[in-house]
Amino acid sequence: MSDSLAMTGADLIRDFVTRLPSKPGVYRMFDDKGNCLYVGKARNLKNRVSNYARGQGHNNRIALMISLTCNMEFVVTASEAEALLLEANLIKKLKPKFNVILRDDKSFPYILIAKDHNIAQLAKHRGAHSRKGSYYGPFASAGAVNNAINTMQKAFLLRSCNDSFFSNRSRPCLLHQIKRCSAPCVGLIAKPDYDVLVKDAEGFLSGKSVEIKATLAKAMELASDAMEFENAARIRDRINALSFVTQTQGINPQGVDEADVFGLAHEGGQFCVQVFFIRSGQNWGTRAYFPKTDKTMLDDEVMESFLTQFYDDKPLPSQILLSHEVAERELIEEAFTQQAGRKVEILVPKRGEKRALVEHAALNAREANGRKMAETASQEKLLEGAARVFDLPATPRRIEIYDNSHIQGAHAVGAMVVAGPDGFMKGQYRKFNMDAEAIKGDDFGMMREMLLRRFTRLLKEHGDEQESEELRNWPELVLIDGGQGQLSAAKGILSDLGLHDLPVVGIAKGPERDAGREHFYMMGRSSFMLEARDPVLYYIQRLRDEAHRFAIGTHRARRTKAIGINPLDEVAGIGPTRKKALLLAFGSAKAVSRANVSDLAAVDGVSETLAQAIFDHFHSET
């Protein structure tokens, strides 16, 4: 092995080939610093890898990849389909330079009709399907789910509150007053009647909106004939809500019940893949992706790699419709069928309604790609302007902005947001929970702590930022919220870490916090302002405001979590069921803390021993 590691490029690959089996598997190529360059799969590892050992016949991208290869690793799999799934998983995890990389890969939200309570709840859900109930999705975005839930509240009057809120109501909440809930919490609707609403909601989400509207129309007519005009008006409002949601969904195919539709566009070296989600014959939203890839790659290569990564951690539909053919369609079908545990069909339709769907997706991809390219060009000019204003040696590709938030030192958090050529890089945002006792509301101390933790970790993970051009986690500009004092604190920490040349700019708000009159502070320069109409000023304001928004949001989340912590959670032996029983019996944790042992023991599920333990917990210091 030591002889192999002394070689590079085609010579190294040729040496590895001599020891490879003729079996399916996955291979990885690494550079001299251990960074993964490429992940590939093969039906026959020996034959596939031997292609790289040839000294000719490769395009420039592949030739460069081969020349940079200093080591390889291999995993043998039971089948080529298994190798395909493993390849997609490794690409997403390692993000190799020479692979197509799926970016902005967030999980999709679902609508959940939860049935772990006697009265079903309508809720938005993201993550594992661990709650008992019916899941409907995926939806393209949280906004699409929120709109759907908003409409379903009007149409079906299902509760959306959590179980604790539901159990402690003595009168209807505001949602009932604005006709978005039937108030089962206080018995304004009988459970059998509520279950009918739940069944209708499930039918609507399963694609039976036409039948449900017809049933409601008949009920409205009967109510009108019986001169129950108020009831007829309520049913009319429900029909209007259903009509609105079906009208605003855009394309609602007649002959496609369940499918994901992929349209690909390619212009100026930039790819866009637009995805439509069709479930129960309804359009549940669309999302555009801009995979990171080499400009020389072909459409079918991008589509194939994108497809396998996309479904690495997502549920598969019964049909996948593509605008472009992929070379290994049958293999991907086999792998997806294996992954889903049922038949998954991949089609590239040539005519009919399915063809219209993929053409529509491709058209949307072209338009989204055009918008993205225009935004990127504008972003590039703003970054060039920032380089000019702050005397940077080159146009920054990564700007980090820091801010903090607290209330008199309580629940203090620091926040880092990141911006670059593609705008805000939300996957790179970081939050820093601060120790209230150590910081004590000191903004300078919080800034020092944030930067110390951020750059100590960065140095530990990557070493000197000058070592490799491939490292993209180092900022070329740091912006902090504050004036000369904050700047001095930041530069002091960075100098202690040996980062003397990293440009840092302090942004002090104008008099009376007037936007547009900010002063900028840099070491070695007098404070300065920018022209009121300078686009760079607006850009810096946007960056600062985004950092402030993220810091405030993170602080509020931490504060809310702290408020939601119940003292009963700290008592050994009390789980969710007993805690709920105690709260229902006494009304609050404070009332539980004041109760005597006999009253505690009278609660269902609380033994004499546990009652004594609860009493001792709250009275041990008195």
Residue 528 belongs to domain spanning: 399-553
Categorize the per-residue pLDDT at 622 as very low, low, confident or very high, splitting at 50, 70 and 90.
Answer: very low
Q: Tell me: pLDDT of 443 over 80.
A: no
Domain boundary among 553, 575, 601: 553
The number of domains in the chain is: 5
Between 65 and 512, where is the model more confident? 65
CA distance 515 to 455: 30
Q: What is the mean pLDDT of residues 536-560?
A: 83
Burial of 437 (0-12, 13-18, 19+ CB in 10 A): exposed
Helix H segments across 262-351?
Answer: 299-310, 329-340
Provide the pLDDT for residue 77: 93
Same domain? For 73 and 151 the reply is no
Choose the weakest-confidence range: 218-232, 262-276, 356-370: 218-232
Q: What is the mean pLDDT of residues 534-540?
A: 87
What is the percent of the chain with per-residue pLDDT over 90, rounded to a whole number? 26
Provide the pLDDT for residue 128: 79
Between 243 and 30, where is the model more confident? 30
Model pTM above 0.75: no
Residue 606 included in any domain: yes
Q: What is the mean pLDDT of residues 94-103?
A: 87
Q: Tell me: pLDDT of 244 over 70.
A: no
Provide the pLDDT for residue 105: 60
Q: Tell me: pLDDT of 466 over 50.
A: no
Residue 339 included in any domain: yes
| Per-residue pLDDT tens digits for 601-620 | 888 888 888 888 888 887 76
Provide the pLDDT for residue 463: 54
Q: Tell me: pLDDT of 470 over 60.
A: no
Residues β-bridged to residue 562: none
Q: Tell me: pLDDT of 510 over 90.
A: no
Choose the weakest-confidence range: 102-106, 143-147, 244-248: 244-248
Same domain? For 62 and 198 the reply is no
Residue 56 included in any domain: yes
Same domain? For 131 and 207 the reply is yes
Same domain? For 488 and 356 the reply is no
Q: What is the mean pLDDT of residues 129-153?
A: 81
Mean pLDDT of the chain: 83
Q: What is the mean pLDDT of residues 498-513?
A: 80
Same domain? For 435 and 366 the reply is no
Q: What is the mean pLDDT of residues 92-106?
A: 82
3-state secondary structure of 397: coil
Q: What is the mean pLDDT of residues 440-451?
A: 77
CA dist 193 → 127, 182, 188, 197, 199 (Å): 31, 10, 10, 7, 10
Q: Residue 28: enclosing H or E segment and its boundaries?
A: strand 25-30
Residue 103 included in any domain: no
Same domain? For 214 and 312 the reply is no
CB atoms < 10 A from the CB of 137, how many?
Answer: 23
Q: DSSP secondary-structure letter at 161?
A: S
| Per-residue pLDDT tens digits for 46-71 | 999 998 987 677 888 888 999 999 99
Residue 380 included in any domain: no
Same domain? For 403 and 543 the reply is yes
Residue 105 included in any domain: no
Q: What is the mean pLDDT of residues 137-143?
A: 77
Same domain? For 487 and 548 the reply is yes
| Per-residue pLDDT tens digits for 399-437 | 999 988 765 556 678 889 999 888 888 888 988 887 655
Among the listed residues 208, 205, 212, 181, the one whose alpha carbon sits nearest the alpha carbon of residue 119: 181
Q: Tell me: pLDDT of 222 over 50.
A: yes
CATH code: domain of residue 73: 3.40.1440.10
Q: What is the mean pLDDT of residues 467-476?
A: 60
Helix H segments across 311-351?
Answer: 329-340
Provide the pLDDT for residue 272: 92
Q: DSSP secondary-structure letter at 457?
A: H
Same domain? For 411 and 525 the reply is yes
